Structure 1
Amino acid sequence: MLSDTKSLNKVITTGSLRRVHHIALNVQDMQASRHFYGSILGLHELKGDEVPETLVNLVQAGKVANFRTPDGTILDLFWEPELSPPDPDPERGFTRANHLAFDIAPELFDNAVEVLRQHQIKIAQEPVTRPTGRGVYFYDPDGFIVEIRCNPE
């Protein structure tokens, strides 16, 4: 662990993370979940051009559905028909929640990744760049996947 927490405070806390970008849940029954979040809770399901470019193929295949909450947070549903009870191995998709994503300013992204490395946080997937922005996936102390991501510059 890095003994100097000032760099951590500058990059990841005290207002650097701007909002929850999206929440991703694993679901066993996609149709029942789409009905629940769309018809019962009244969330807007993203369709057509609203679907993020990186998810279009998965949405078309019925493996992902995306909803917008009233505050603009995106809820992604990932179809996992063989979803099983919790497993102690964090490499397995074992819970209803897939990951929690925080938005950060593009100019702070690389610094945030460096802070994770300095604190020896286990990175699940090295930083990726997509048309929708950059992201890095890592584990919290309980093995839950967290993402820090930013929009394209």
Structure 2
Amino acid sequence: MPVTFNHTIIASKDREESARFYRALFELPEAPSWGPFTNIQLSDGVLLQFAEPPVEIQMQHYAFLVDDELFDRAYARLCADGIEHWADPQMKRPNETNTEHGGRGVYFKDPAGHAIEIITRPYL
């Protein structure tokens, strides 16, 4: 069997709020959840499991590859919801997107403070 990515746990201050944020942003349906996890499933089957750890949350970086149409809709939602965003990971180009790697990209933070990146073309 080839190696594929199956799931990850994303630390959240409020797991339900974080799952709602990602579902709305990426237009995903609810997924079955269990135990301390609120789950969403990406179109390739990867499961994102949101949980509330008993420790301070350290910022992580998560990048999502989307098509141009979903990028447009997600970016419009970020703007409509007043979510601060940048064209660069150093947060020096506010309220912009970038055209790196032959596509478009944007950086912002999720409800738990994780650095999220949406891109329309893979880096490689």
Shared fold per TM-score greater than 0.5: no
Question: 1 or 2 for the larger relative contact order (CA 8 Å, sep ≥6)?
Answer: 1
TM-score range, shorter chain: 0.3 to 0.5
TM-score (norm 1): 0.36
Larger radius of gyration: 1
Select the structure that is richer in helix: 1
Greater strand content = 1
